[in-house]
Structure 1
Amino acid sequence: MDRIAAALGDAARWRIVELLAERPRSVGELAELTGLRQPQTSKHLQTLARAGLVTVFPLGQRRVHALEAQPLAALAGRLRELAAATEGHAGERDVVARYRAAIDREAAAADRDRWADGRSFAFERLLPEPPEVVWRHWAEPELLASWWVPPSMTVTACVLEPRPGGRVVLRYRDADAEYPSEGRVLVAQEPEHLVFDLAVTGPASFTGHYDLRLEPESGGTRLRLDLGITATTVEAVPFIAGIEPGWQQVLDHLTEVLTKRKG
């Protein structure tokens, strides 16, 4: 497949393939129709032949080249698979597009430090497990790390000690950098109420005040998370822009983890 794609990645060879799709042709005819010299045309045909796309038929003193349909059909099938996979993950592309738009909006507003102080967010989910189980997924490091990370990133540290004064640590990384944050638990009333602060550290910093409530509902749990922002630096634009889509994604991930657990 790689050889076929590489062979078709040249405009001149693509034009030759289009002409051969109509009917078999000689080198001379192809050279005339493409405007290439015959030696160039021959080299392109050799490349297409090595990829299995073209077969050569010696006919006396003439050599006629014919296109093979099977490799093209295989490539078309693979392209259909890729198109279907892309459509299946269109939501993730939309998240990236919304994130990019949010960065542009926030950058226009970030004219001084503390520009986003007082900003608040609220998130809700109906989860398929009782509050006791949901609480464990916040309080136990291994379970917390199983869902509290943005897509395409890796958790390197994940701790939330469910007691007043307990540590909160979240560090994750991607191919470009590591993103650390630390804070303290303020309220811990198992399994219904958890309040903590978490500060992203470094030049691009802000502090989030998180208020989590878990209420039993219809055989599961109604989760509500309120988040307030303080101590915002100008450089924190990408983080502030990413709060809404980021928390939507990680809470979706928590829902998936709990759904699989129950199933």
Structure 2
Amino acid sequence: MTSLSDRHSTFTVERILPGRPTHAWRFWADPALKQAWSGCHPDWTMLEEVHDFHTGGRDFSRMRDTEGAIHSMDMRYLDLLQPQRILYAYTMHLDATPLSASLVTIDLTPKSDATSMVYTEQLTMLAGDTAQRRAGTGDGFDRLVLEMERALAVLQ
């Protein structure tokens, strides 16, 4: 059980992404590129997936883990300002149990030939571990950097 003091938190993850903000933007907008870095459980079975990247759009996934539990993530895009800002809210569930609700802002700013990405999440944890969520988010962005580097290498 998450204690009251750990239930609400705000955390920020910063990365320097290779390429300009328009290159970074593609890794959220294109379903195949997004899956390449955000898919963190290759041994799980995808049961349902929606990717609708526009203001008012929805991303949704429902997966079965190796033990048979169902994990779902439901995201609504609140505001997209290409290629500068992504604002969304999302919830996560384990089977029928709500785990968390979050509001996320991603700011993409040019920095020489790269992009400064600042990800800020306002998190309400209903069950589970905030430290694990923070670590998993950072791991995902490490995969994003690698996928963006690979894509630039192919273009050169």
Whether the 8 Å contact between 1:123 and 1:225 is mirrored in structure 2 is yes
**Other-structure match for 2:149:** 259
Residue 122 of structure 2 corresponds to residue 219 of structure 1: no
Whether the 8 Å contact between 2:14 and 2:118 is mirrored in structure 1 is yes
Give distance in 2, aligned partners of 1:216 and 1:222.
Answer: 6
Task: Name the structure, 1 or 2, with higher relative contact order (CA <8 Å, separation 6+).
Answer: 2
Q: Which runs of 4+ in 1 moved over 3 A?
A: 151-155, 157-160, 170-174
Query: Partner letter of residue 109 of structure 2?
Result: E
**Other-structure match for 1:65:** none
Query: Partner letter of residue 198 of structure 1?
Result: Y
Query: Partner letter of residue 60 of structure 2?
Result: V
SS of the aligned residue for 1:147 comes to helix
Deviation of 1:168 after TM superposition, in Å, equals: 2.2
Deviation of 1:163 after TM superposition, in Å, equals: 2.3
**Other-structure match for 2:86:** 194
Q: Percent identity?
A: 23
SS of the aligned residue for 2:56 comes to coil
Whether the 8 Å contact between 1:193 and 1:214 is mirrored in structure 2 is yes
Structure 1 or 2, whichever has the larger Rg, is 1
**Other-structure match for 1:165:** 56
SS of the aligned residue for 1:228 comes to strand
Query: Partner letter of residue 218 of structure 1?
Result: S
SS of the aligned residue for 1:146 comes to helix
**Structure 2 portions without partners, runs of 5+:** none
RMSD: 2.2
Whether the 8 Å contact between 1:135 and 1:191 is mirrored in structure 2 is yes
**Structure 1 portions without partners, runs of 5+:** 1-106
Give distance in 1, aligned partners of 2:75 and 2:139.
Answer: 22
**Other-structure match for 2:73:** 181
- Change in 2 beyond 3 A, CA 1:111/1:221: closer
Pairs aligned (count):
149
State the TM-score, normalizing by the size of structure 2. 0.83
Give distance in 2, aligned partners of 1:213 and 1:249.
Answer: 18
